[in-house]
Amino acid sequence: MKFTVSSSALLSLLATTGKVISNKNTLPILDYFLMDLKDGVLKVTTSDLETTLVGSITVDNVESDGMIAAPAKLMLDSLKEFPEMPLTIEVNDRTWEITINWKSGSLSIPGASPVSYPAIPSLGEDKSEVTLDVDTLVNGINKTIFATADDELRPVMNGVYINIDNDSVTFVATDAHKLVKYSTEANCDVKSSFILPKKPANLLKTVLLKEDEAIKVAFDAKNVVFNLKSYMLVCRLIEGNYPNYNAVIPTNNSNKVLIDRVELVNGIRRVAVCSNPTTNLIRMDIADNKVNLKAQDIDFSVSANESLSCSYEGMPITIGFKSTFLVEILSNIETPTVVIELADATRAGVFKPVYDDKQSSSTLMLLMPMMINA
């Protein structure tokens, strides 16, 4: 195996695929890149047994094809030290030694036989296939992933639920305190759903930024495959039934607050400094087109309050929220104005962006209230 490649192109490929490699691999071979050269295309595969990412680049001056397992840390540490220049990489297929040559020097690192590298999982015959826009996937993951849980007892909540319908795709994430639902129009021929784990969702978000064409998605009951221009992501799905999220979204919210999102976030941050560090409770008194924010920590005799202007329809209401969750939700809404819909002090608050024109997508964020000790 011998070829020439751009140092920066190879580093970019290895750095992206290397994100899959876990710090706690059960198999030593998983600390390696599987490098496969065939017909002028170098494919690099990484896996942690749950998620597999395959990336490819075109290389020059191929003298011979071949396959090798290359140590990930050594390869990345070596390539980081090179400016943009051509590198000639040669592999001895008997000793598995990798030699990297450049204009003024060379280095050699020990590789390994690729034989024991785990095979990529394949989908069953009952697989479903759908084509999704890059924007649909990127927006869906970006808007929901912060609300996923880290719950060993309820693994279904540790990922993003993707529901595909004939004319729409819905992304949902919840950790039982907050919930985000993002729906967008799409033309799909299938009706199905799956739960994408958090790690591959974050990886997908990274590799999608370099894409401009529609993404082919194929999945069965156990695995999903995302086919991109230069990458293929295969991951094991979270098995189980996702909770009925529509049942927890309150529908008849008679109290509506229209408020400047940035002002509200900044106000919450200022007042939250004086909240109890255990609960992070912030109290909102809403009436007469004003939102009064209050926080206190009795143990340390600190308190803060701030009054903000808003447009309010409804009865006067007092409700408490965890300030860190409030900031997180408001920071993940991109519009200058936000509407908060409230039923009463015991039911979830619904947060929605306010757009100037009609949108092909809708975002709804929900936050459970906290008890206020009068």
Distance (Å, whole) CA 113 – CA 360: 51
pLDDT one-digit tens code per residue, 104-147: 999 999 999 999 999 999 998 899 999 999 999 999 999 999 99
* Domain assignment of residue 373, yes or no: no
59, 126, 140 from 187: Cα distances, Å? 37, 21, 16
pLDDT value of residue 251? 85
pLDDT one-digit tens code per residue, 12-36: 999 999 999 998 888 999 999 999 9
- Confidence tier at 168 by pLDDT (50, 70, 90): very high
- Structural domain ending residue among the three candidates 85, 116, 147: 116
Distance (Å, whole) CA 217 – CA 237: 13
- Whether residues 224 and 317 share a domain: the answer is no
Q: Which residue has the higher pLDDT, 270 or 213?
A: 270
Domain holding 164, by residue range, is 128-247
- Structural domain ending residue among the three candidates 53, 87, 116: 116
Domain count, the chain: 3
Paired tokens of 279: 């609960």
> Residue 150: which region, alpha, beta or left (left: phi > 0; alpha: psi -120 to 50)?
beta
- Whether residues 107 and 182 share a domain: the answer is no
In this structure, the strands spanning 281-287 and 192-197 are: unpaired
285: domain CATH number is 3.10.150.10
- Whether residues 286 and 351 share a domain: the answer is yes
- Structural domain ending residue among the three candidates 212, 227, 247: 247
- Whether residues 110 and 172 share a domain: the answer is no
- Intra-chain end-to-end CA distance of the chain, in Å: 74
- Whether residues 272 and 328 share a domain: the answer is yes
> Residue 180: which region, alpha, beta or left (left: phi > 0; alpha: psi -120 to 50)?
beta
Minimal CA–CA distance to 308: which of 323, 322, 320, 293?
293
- Whether residues 137 and 182 share a domain: the answer is yes
* Domain assignment of residue 65, yes or no: yes
- Whether residues 263 and 363 share a domain: the answer is yes
pLDDT value of residue 374? 55
Mean pLDDT of 274-302: 94
- Whether this prediction's pTM lies above 0.85 is answered by yes
* Domain assignment of residue 374, yes or no: no
